């Protein structure tokens, strides 16, 4: 069954406590703290979400804080702390402090938001994920032909780029990025999920790296890096239509055994949402019936679970 990704909307009240009654600690030079359970977090060059990462921490990791600074608002909290390793972590991701860091620790000074930028453009429908992998939660679903500002790249042969929406796009879905040399590596990236950045009064269970269904050998293949996959025509020919409607104009006709590379899937317009009505939007920017191809979309468990629906790509910035 080709599943829709669930839309999770969590509404929860802020768990921030007021520290107003706590006495100023005298002459503290450093304060030990611990990363909140269930949270993975990034320790950054400057106290803003788009600053490059210096270190990645998991829940329960110990940190030593030496000063505070104002930075990106994370769930209503603009306080970031510099650790003794010289990077900045949001107060939101630390266990609650029975005091006020802005009183107990020196001010680090006004720290500027500094990160590099270059230009990118989506070539195909492009998911922008909180974490640089196809199974990362989606922050944006870009249409094709969209101009993006890229801020850093991951250390992969086919890198992921972080956009100014603080999510990662795969280079395989972009026009060639001319200005890669103008930006920096993103640094270590911990496994992230949307819920780690949402207000939640209950500590989450310890986050685990997600696992793929056991039956699929694909996680180590290129599918772990991008969603374009190669299939071929299994019939004499397969028309590729302008719309997801097999009465619309024929844009091109693939012949037997010709390679077809889908970007996303949808269902034949007006038809039941059944496997035999799946239409795939290819890198030729037209729709072909999945049932005429071999292998089919649902022949892979990973594709069945994660291949994107064309309707989901709505973002233009």
Ligand X SMILES: *[C@@H]1O[C@H](CO)[C@@H](O)[C@H](O)[C@H]1NC(C)=O
Where on the chain is the footprint of ligand X (CB under 6 A)? 26-27, 60-62, 245-248, 268-271, 277
Structure tokens at 71: 């930075």
The continuous run of DSSP H or E covering 32 comes out as strand 31-34
Those residues with Cβ within 8 angstroms of residue 312's Cβ, 6 or more apart along the chain or in another chain: 5, 138, 141, 264
Closest residue to ligand X, Cβ-based? 270
Nearest distance, CB of residue 156 and ligand X, angstroms? 28
Quick one: CA torsion of 163, 164, 165, 166, rounded to 10 degrees? 70
Nearest distance, CB of residue 255 and ligand X, angstroms? 16
Residue matched to tokens 């970031």? 80
Nearest distance, CB of residue 246 and ligand X, angstroms? 4
107 vs 317 by CB, closer to ligand X: 107
First-to-last alpha carbon distance for the chain, in angstroms, is: 32
Nearest distance, CB of residue 65 and ligand X, angstroms? 14
265/293 Cα distance (integer angstroms):
13
Closest CA to 66 of 35, 41, 88: 88
60 vs 203 by CB, closer to ligand X: 60
Nearest distance, CB of residue 248 and ligand X, angstroms? 5
122 vs 266 by CB, closer to ligand X: 266
251 vs 271 by CB, closer to ligand X: 271
201 vs 270 by CB, closer to ligand X: 270
């Amino acid at each position: 069954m080709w599943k829709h990704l669930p839309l999770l909307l969590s509404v929860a009240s802020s768990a921030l406590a007021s520290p107003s009654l706590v006495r100023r600690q005298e002459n503290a030079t450093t304060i030990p703290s611990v990363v909140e359970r269930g949270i993975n977090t990034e320790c950054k060059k400057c106290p803003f979400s788009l600053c490059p990462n210096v270190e990645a921490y998991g829940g329960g990791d110990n940190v030593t804080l030496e000063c505070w600074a104002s930075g990106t608002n994370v769930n209503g909290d603009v306080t970031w702390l510099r650790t003794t390793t010289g990077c900045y972590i949001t107060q939101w991701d630390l266990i609650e402090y029975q005091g006020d860091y802005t009183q107990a620790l020196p001010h680090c000074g006004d720290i500027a938001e500094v990160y590099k930028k270059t230009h990118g453009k989506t070539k195909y429908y492009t998911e922008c994920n909180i974490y640089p992998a196809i199974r990362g939660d989606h922050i944006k679903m870009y249409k094709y032909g969209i101009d993006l500002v890229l801020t850093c790249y991951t250390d992969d042969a086919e890198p992921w780029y972080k956009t100014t929406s603080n999510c990662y796009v795969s280079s395989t879905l972009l026009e060639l990025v001319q200005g890669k040399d103008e930006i920096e590596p993103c640094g270590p990236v911990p496994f992230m999920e949307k819920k780690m950045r949402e207000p939640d009064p209950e500590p989450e269970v310890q986050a685990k790296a997600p696992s793929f269904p056991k039956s699929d050998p694909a996680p180590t293949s290129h599918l772990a890096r991008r969603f374009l996959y190669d299939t071929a025509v299994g019939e004499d020919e397969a028309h590729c239509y302008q719309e997801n409607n097999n009465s619309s104009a024929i844009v091109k006709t693939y012949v037997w055994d010709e390679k077809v590379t889908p970007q996303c899937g949808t269902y034949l317009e007006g038809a039941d949402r059944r496997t035999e009505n799946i239409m795939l939007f290819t890198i030729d920017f037209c729709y072909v019936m999945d049932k005429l191809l071999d292998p089919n979309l649902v022949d892979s468990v990973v594709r069945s679970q994660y291949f994107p629906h064309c309707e989901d790509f709505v973002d233009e910035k």
